[in-house]
Every structure is written in C-alpha cells, then in structure tokens.
Amino acid sequence: MEKKARLSVYLDPDLMHSLADYAARRDQSRSLIAEAAVASFLSPDADERREAAIAKRLDGIDRRLQRVERDIGITVEMMAVFIRFWLASTPQLPEASQAAARAKAGERYDNFLDALGRRLAKGPKLRQEIGEEGSWPSAAP
C-alpha cells in the first residue's frame, strides 16, 4: 500500500468549522472526510450523481405542482357548479325583504367563515376526500 501524500490547505473559518462538526458527528477524522470530499468532487461520475439528484428533486417539484394544478382545477369547477346551482335555485326576493335578507346573509357568511376555519384547522381536506384519482371514495361496507 502506498503511503499517503500530505497536503496543506487553507479553508474559510466557517468551512473549517463545518468540516470539524461533520467529522465529529461521524466519528471520523477531518482528513478522512476531506479526502472523501475531494475524491467525490474529482470522480468522473460526480457530475452525473449531481445531475441525478437535481433531476430527482425536479421530479418531486413537478409532482407537487401537478397536484396543485389539479386542486385548483377542482376548486374552480366546484365554484362554477355551486354558482350555477345557486343562481338557478334562488328566487329573487321582494324589495321589502331584501334588507332583512342582507342581514341574515351577513350572519350566515360569518358562520361559514367560522366553519371554514375549523375545517382548515382540523381537516379532512377536500383533496383528501376526493383522492389522487379525482373520484370520491367509495362508501364503507
């Protein structure tokens, strides 16, 4: 076995502190950690490993973005269906009843916000009820 060659390097104090901390956590020498880092950096497949790690992270981001797009699509469709239903089923109120109806609407809206806050705090979320496939879960037997 060949004897290892000595190399002296100057490191930024923060980098030296990070190296010492990492070596202590792994119960390894700083020299061994630095040697492994240099070998990894100079390895011909280091770029490929970095590229694979970046691709894996990007794939994860893409999947999360697809879920967000799906959730937004569900929300838009849900609002459209609700608004159409509400407009089709709500009769126009007589002029004399409109002030009382507005007051009741304000009360109902406050109750709605309270219920929404509780639901967001505790769950389940609509996206969990719908599931990844975009369909409602089947009823329990």
Domain spans of the chain, in order of start: 13-42, 48-91+98-123
- pLDDT for 128: 72
The residue-averaged pLDDT of 53-58 equals: 94
- Cβ density class 65-90: b for 16+ within 10 Å, e for less: eeeeeeeeeeeeeeeeeeeeeeeeee
This model's pTM is above 0.75: no
Q: CA-CA distance, 131 to 60, in Å (whole number)? A: 18
Q: What percent of the chain has pLDDT over 90?
A: 52
pLDDT at 84 over 70: yes
Average pLDDT over residues 110-138: 75
